[in-house]
Amino acid sequence: MSVAEINKNEVDIVIGALNADLTQFLSSWRTFFSGFHLIVVKDPELKEELNIPEGFDVDVYTKTDMEKVLGSTNSTMFSGYSCRYFGYLVSKKKYIVSIDDDCVPAKDPQGFLVDAVSQHVINLETPATPLFFNTLYDPYCEGADFVRGYPFSLRSGVPCAASCGLWLNLADLDAPTQALKTEQRNTSYVDAVMTVPAKAMLPISGINIAFNRELVGPALVPALRLAGEGKVRWETLEDVWCGMCLKHISDHLGYGVKTGKPYVWRNERGDAVESLRKKWEGMKLMEKSVPFFESLKLPESALKVEDCVIELAKAVKEQLGSDDPAFTQAADAMVKWIQLWNSVNSSG
Amino acid sequence: MVEPANTVGIAVNPTPLLTDELDIVIPTIRNLDFLEMWRPFLQPYHLIIVQDGDPSKKIHVPEGYDYELYNRNDINRILGPKASCISFKDSACRCFGYMVSKKKYIFTIDDDCFVAKDPSGKAVNALEQHIKNLLCPSSPFFFNTLYDPYREGADFVRGYPFSLREGVSTAVSHGLWLNIPDYDAPTQLVKPKERNTRYVDAVMTIPKGTLFPMCGMNLAFDRDLIGPAMYFGLMGDGQPIGRYDDMWAGWCIKVICDHLGLGVKTGLPYIYHSKASNPFVNLKKEYKGIFWQEEIIPFFQNAKLSKEATTVQQCYIELSKMVKEKLSSLDPYFDKLADAMVTWIEAWDELNPPAAAAANGKA
């Protein structure tokens, strides 16, 4: 598949605005965002007016829009980094590409700027191969193929539900790790896309992600909020939880999740040591989540994504609810999310 | 276009790691000229050469290498009737080298594999990378999106559970190949000119529960941890199948590693694979395997070893019983293979009695 074959009308680029001035961000992406429709969702807790440069086909959503759709009690579900999920909710497109507003295009080893949007769409449009690991990684890309010993019956692959990109410069490390290695930056450009095998869990980062909204949209759940959740990624876990749910549901429904290229360049922002001062409960929640997802089996009867989310929410409440109120809140949020999804998207 | 590295002028590694703990096993039928270019990286190590085919042929080993060589007569002499489990006229015979080795680690490489270049043009010391891979933990229980977290410049990403960050012991390091890719015959026939020019600068752990096609061209493993499971099956002369030796071993070791909580890595190092084998010959060898693997894969995916199987040998014997029970109906070959798996373990234990193993355990 090549860049030329991408149908831009099938894609929404959803940007969560945690910063009011998007001039630098959007200008840096202009070449690659050109021709695409953008949805910018403003963090409802951000007070200043958004500053968006001219020349983009963009729809902006703010707290007012959220309240129109949800009623005033619900906008907390979409505060901070979770504001982007409102964009996922109201989009009408097949594919969503979402990039944090502190990231700019990266350069590949040859010095060319990486078209992250196109790479994500290519990843989503080509099959995934979760049932058997291909040692040459993506078998569908130019110059590669399935290796000897790869079963032929598995070579047509399955639909790709999500494409998880990576980051040069400031990698998505947690606060303790980054605080310990203050100078460490990711300079390693790994030239591969691969499917994360079925049943394997992974921490999906929301910084640079794309997904097939038609296939799995409702599974991108804005659910887990840390008590001290903040406006830097070190102080959140919403995307990691969302990713665990998404991967589990994708595995259950026979879809694939890819990881690897594209890279984006993540700018310096925040202070890991400062973030460490906050009581870092994310660690505890992850420890509880892992055995839960490992042993979780969704019922065979859950064939629709929405049903999978509801079943998952039930299981979270039953098995994790007593461990931490954050889990009960997450379960409730997941149920609420499906209700919202159904009501907003019922008119098709 | 990708070229092999020119190693003329590179000094022999002055600080080679684990020279007393690692053997290099090379199956050959032709010659070992390729070892000339590997001198800087391999000369400090002991070689075990397994000579396949006509035992009367003299195999020349380049000067300066310390080696032991076994031909078919030696294999028959050493194993007696148990020699029936070692393939003839197939590179699968290399596993005899694993069995007779007394070292902790094995590196095996094909005789048409040269030194590769990394993107900066530097010659890749494949053995050094394999050793790094084996000495560093694996992380099979949770996938790290930045690949090997223990590598310089990398780490575990946000959300990676802290309780899993110590990792587990690495049993196998599976390397890759530039130039001639390891394709099956049908793919070779369709894409005879395709060359692998993509250097993917990553090592990663293959998640628990996931099978993969293990290629024996550029492979290293911890013999103490997984050696007895590295049987390369019955291939070649008198057998209905070929080019599935390493695949068979790979499925077995992965099931056993998953069961015992050991890790399997894939990715770096690259070697430069110089020779494309004849796709028509390959097709004849692989033909049955292409159909059989459709049954074999689900077999391995569903194979459950018992709690009582706590050693590699016990796991392997259990697996052999399952092969006999579940795959014999596919073809009588699997009945023979299951028996050969048992013979292999018996031969392994004979050549590697427990007391001797304990003495060899630590350098």
Place of tokens 């890595």: B265
Q: Tell me the pTM.
A: 0.95
For chain A, the residue count is: 348
Residues of B in contact with A259 (CB under 8 A): 143, 145
Q: Does residue A322 sit within a domain?
A: yes
Across chain A, which distance is largest between two alpha carbons, in Å? 58
> Is residue A109 assigned to a domain?
yes
Q: Which residue of A has its CA nearest to B192?
A: A143
CA distance B113 to B182: 12
A171 at the B interface (CB within 8 A)? yes
Domain count, chain A: 1
Q: How do the pLDDT tens digits run along chain B, 363 residues long?
A: 799 999 999 999 999 999 999 999 999 998 899 999 999 999 999 999 999 999 999 999 999 999 999 999 999 999 999 999 999 999 999 999 999 999 999 999 999 999 999 999 999 999 999 999 999 999 999 999 999 999 988 999 999 999 999 999 999 999 999 999 999 999 999 999 999 999 999 999 999 999 999 999 999 999 999 999 999 999 998 999 999 999 999 999 999 999 999 999 999 999 999 998 999 999 999 999 999 999 999 999 999 999 999 999 999 999 999 999 999 999 999 999 999 999 999 999 999 997 654 544 433
A230 within domain boundaries: yes
Q: Do B142 and A190 touch (CB under 8 A)?
A: no
Residue A144 has a pLDDT of 95
Q: Containing H/E element for A259?
A: strand A256-266
Mean pLDDT, residues A93-113: 97
Question: Cβ(B172)–Cβ(B226) under 8 Å?
Answer: yes
pLDDT of residue A72: 66
CATH topology of domain B22-351: Spore Coat Polysaccharide Biosynthesis Protein SpsA; Chain A (3.90.550)
| Residue in chain B nearest A183 by alpha carbon | B153
Closest to B251 in 3D by CA, of B290, B212, B225, B291:
B212
Query: What number of C-beta contacts closer than 8 Å exist between A and B?
Result: 178
Q: Which domain holds residue A147?
A: 100-345
Give the pLDDT of residue A348: 45
Q: State which residue of chain A sits closest to B119, comparing Cα positions.
A: A109
CB atoms within 10 A of CB B190: 11
Under 8 Å between Cβ of B94 and B27: yes
> So what's the pLDDT on residue B361?
44
How far apart (Å, rounded) are the C-alpha atoms in residues A325 and A331? 10
Residue pLDDT, tens place only, B131-187: 999 999 999 999 999 999 999 889 999 999 999 999 999 999 999 999 999 999 999
Please tell me the distance from the alpha carbon of residue A259 to that of residue A193, in angstroms, as a whole number: 6
How many degrees, rounded to 5, is the angle at CA A31 between CA A28 and CA A35?
Answer: 125
Sign of the CA dihedral with A195 first, then A199, A202, and A205 last: positive
Testing the interface with A: which of B157, B189, B252 to mutate, by most A Cβ within 10 A?
A: B157
Q: Which residues of B touch A202 (CB under 8 A)?
A: 142-145
The beta-carbon neighbor of A135 closest among B155, B197, B212 is B212
pLDDT tens-digit readout, A271-301:
888 887 776 778 888 899 999 999 999 999 9
Interface of A with B in 90-119 (CB under 8 A): 109
Q: What is the pLDDT of residue A69?
A: 83
- Give percent of chain A above pLDDT 70: 97
Of B159, B174, B290, the CB nearest to A135: B174
pLDDT at A105 over 70: yes
Q: Kindly tell me the number of DSSP H helices and DSSP E strands found in chain B.
A: 11, 9
Nearest-Cα distance to chain B for A11, in Å, is 25
Q: Who contacts B171 (Cβ-Cβ below 8 Å, separation ≥6)?
A: B138, B221, B222, B225, B226, B253, B257, B262, B263, B264
Which tens digit of pLDDT belongs to each residue from A214-239?
999 999 999 998 877 888 888 888 99
Whether the CB of A163 is below 8 Å from some CB of chain B: the reply is no
Note whether A149 contacts B161, CB cutoff 8 Å. no
pLDDT at A315: 97
Q: Which of B196, B201, B206 is the closest to A143 by Cβ? A: B196
User: Distances from the Cα of B257 to the Cαs of A147, B105, B237, B265, in angstroms?
Assistant: 22, 16, 30, 11
Which A-chain residues 215-244 have CB contacts (< 8 A) with chain B?
A: 233-234, 237, 239-240, 243
Instruction: Out of A149, A150, A287, name the one closest to residue B163 (CB).
Output: A287
**Interface mutation target, options B120, B141, B145, B297, chain A, most CBs of A under 10 Å:** B145
CB distance B293–A149 less than 8 Å?
yes
C-alpha distance from residue A69 to each of A36, A85, A334, A341, B26 (Å):
25, 13, 17, 11, 69
pLDDT of residue B1: 77
Q: Which residue has the tokens 């010391």?
A: B125
B133/chain A closest Cα distance in angstroms: 16
The pLDDT, as a whole number, for residue A211 is: 98
Q: What is the pLDDT of residue B360?
A: 46
Cβ <8 Å between A145 and B208: no
Strand, coil or helix: B175: strand
Shortest CB distance from B158 goes to which of A136, A184, A205?
A205
Does residue A148 sit within a domain?
yes
Q: Return mean pLDDT, chain A.
A: 93
Distance of residue A138 Cα from the nearest chain B Cα, in angstroms: 11
Q: Provide the pLDDT for residue A230.
A: 82
Q: Is residue A56 part of a domain?
A: no
Report the pLDDT averaged over residues A192-213.
97
pLDDT 10s digits, B74-90: 999 999 999 999 999 99
Q: Please indicate whether, in this complex, the C-beta atoms of B212 and A198 are within 8 angstroms of each other.
A: no
Q: Does a structural domain hold residue A50?
A: no
The answer to whether A232 touches A270, Cβ cutoff 8 Å, is yes
A46 occurs within a structural domain = no
Contact A242, A221 (CB under 8 A): yes
Query: Best residue in A110, A135, A234 to probe B by mutation, most B CBs within 10 Å?
Result: A135
Residue A192 contacts B, CB cutoff 8 Å = yes
Report the complex ipTM: 0.95
Cα–Cα distance, B87 to B336 (Å, whole number): 12
Of B145, B159, B214, nearest to A259 by CB-CB distance is B145
Our separate counts of H helices and E strands in chain A read 11, 9
Closest CB to B145: pick one of A143, A184, A203: A203
User: Which pLDDT score is estimated for B28?
Assistant: 95
What pLDDT is stored for residue A73 in this prediction? Answer: 61
- Mean pLDDT over the full length of chain B: 95
pLDDT of amino acid A74: 62
CB of A250 within 8 Å of any CB in chain B?
no
3-state secondary structure of B119: coil
Contact B147 A190 (CB under 8 A): yes
Q: Which residue of A has its CA nearest to B208?
A: A200
For residue A135, the chain B residues in CB contact (below 8 A) are 174, 176, 182, 212-213, 215, 266
Beta strands at B218-222 and B170-179: parallel, antiparallel or unpaired: antiparallel
Contact A174 B159 (CB under 8 A): yes
Q: What is the 3-state secondary structure (H, E, C) of B61-91?
A: CCCCCEEEEECHHHHHHHHHHHHHHCCECCH
How far apart are the CA of B161 and the nearest CA of chain A, in angstroms?
6
